[in-house]
Structure 1
Amino acid sequence: MPAPGRPRDATIEAKVLRAAVELLQERADDFSMRDLVERSGVSRAAIYRRWPGRRDVVVAALDTNRAPLALSPRGTLLETLRSEYQTGVALLDEDALSLLKQRLIQGLRDPHVQRSYWERHVLRRRTSVLHALRAAQDRGEVRADADLEVVLDLINGAAYYQGVVRGDWNSPESQQRIGAAIDVVFASIRTPVGTDATHGQESPAAP
């Protein structure tokens, strides 16, 4: 055991998460902590010093290839959203799709995993898009009464529907449908010309 105050091996977490990802991708059923110890070569005690239990390892492993969406402005907010979402699905490779499917499977099988994944990972990934939507709202580009959380749910839902229901994660056709869905959502929240963006009423200066 390391002496008190000695830094822990920085590679241990990576070894455990890599092993957990491999086990998730190889098996339709759950893996055990014993499986994880054998695959990673990391002791059970070392794993438990970093995660309270197997479920917490699974939640961390499911997010190993994800990062918060960093929006790169492409002109208007609508153009930015279309570009980021369509590019995002186009870049999904086989490994990313495999882990994405496991996130769906594990979340549906275990509500605690689903909730924990939402709280630890999904919420932080929504931040940049919500920030962009709020900025557009402040500029008067988006209606003041638009529920931005619901707006983001609708856009994300359209993207997930392509793979979860249609079984078509990243074809040109699915990208086109995602873009069209974003157009529809944005049209519903855009501030009409001649409307007071703050109060959602027709401006006295409007013709």
Structure 2
Amino acid sequence: MLGAAVELLQHRPDDFTMADLVRRSGVSRAAVYRRWPSRKDVVVAALDTNRSPLALTLRGSLLETLRDEYQNAFQDLGADTLNLLQQRLIQGLRDPDVQRSYWERHVSRRRSAVLDALQAGQARGEVRGDVDLEVAIDLINGAAYYQGVVRGDWNSAEACARIGAAIDMVWESIRARP
């Protein structure tokens, strides 16, 4: 069912209906509605199908780990992944309910690995205790997304360098000083 929803979202993002989903998936209408009570719920689930949970494994310092993870996060993005990423942006901008639901169900839990790493950095004395870690994540994520969304450059060496430079700038403002 979810695969059919993804196909519809990629090919007919603005006008697919629950009836279209029933036809495409080959399951009953009742089965679709048991899983997703509304079209919005289907869209939110479909938007996240190709995303795997982020797991940060500390390799050296926290700064090195953040640079590694973010600079490699957009490598090897395929056409389907980029299409769904575009749809995440489009659908969220068109419908604030989709945007909120996507945040609550998917984005907020993905940020938890970065938040955990930053909190561990605070506990180890790498990050100042007074830093608003949510803001730090917003700054880093914003720089990373800007490369693809605004510049249209998800994974070039230049985009990776800019992401690394942004992380370095954020790091300078949050790192603990001796």
Q: Name 2:75's counterpart in structure 1.
A: 90
Matched, 1:54 2:39: yes
Cα distance in 2 for partners of 1:87, 1:93 equals 14
Matches within 5 A, 1:40-119: 40-119=25-104
Is the Cα–Cα contact under 8 Å of residues 108 and 114 in structure 1 kept in the other structure?
A: yes
Matched, 1:159 2:144: yes
In the alignment, residue 104 of structure 1 is paired with which amino acid?
L
Q: Name 2:129's counterpart in structure 1.
A: 144
Cα distance in 2 for partners of 1:47, 1:34 equals 10
Is the Cα–Cα contact under 8 Å of residues 90 and 175 in structure 1 kept in the other structure?
A: no
Could you list the structure 1 runs, at least 4 aligned residues long, displaced by more than 6 angstroms after superposition.
none
* Cα deviation, residue 94, structure 1: 1.5
Q: Percent identity?
A: 74
TM-score by length of 1: 0.83
Cα distance in 2 for partners of 1:121, 1:28 equals 19
CA deviation string 1:27-65 (max 9, x = no partner): 252311111111111111110011111110110111111
In the alignment, residue 124 of structure 2 is paired with which amino acid?
R
In the alignment, residue 144 of structure 2 is paired with which amino acid?
A
CA deviation string 1:83-123 (max 9, x = no partner): 11111111322111111111001100110000000001111
Is the Cα–Cα contact under 8 Å of residues 68 and 125 in structure 1 kept in the other structure?
A: yes
2:177 to 192, 197, 203: 192
Structure in which a larger fraction of residues adopt helix = 2
In the alignment, residue 30 of structure 1 is paired with which amino acid?
D
Cα distance in 2 for partners of 1:148, 1:176 equals 23
Cα distance in 2 for partners of 1:149, 1:68 equals 18
Cα distance in 2 for partners of 1:182, 1:146 equals 15
5+ long unaligned stretches in structure 2: none
Deviates more, 1:113-122 or 1:92-101: 92-101
Cα distance in 2 for partners of 1:152, 1:161 equals 14
For residue 89 of structure 1, give the secondary structure of its aligned residue in structure 2: coil
Number of residue pairs matched? 178
Is the Cα–Cα contact under 8 Å of residues 73 and 80 in structure 1 kept in the other structure?
A: yes
5+ long unaligned stretches in structure 1: 1-15, 194-207
Structure 1 residues 140 and 177: alpha-carbon distance in aligned structure 2, compared to 1, 3 A threshold: same
Cα distance in 2 for partners of 1:170, 1:31 equals 31
* Cα deviation, residue 124, structure 1: 0.7
TM-score by length of 2: 0.97
Is the Cα–Cα contact under 8 Å of residues 143 and 190 in structure 1 kept in the other structure?
A: yes
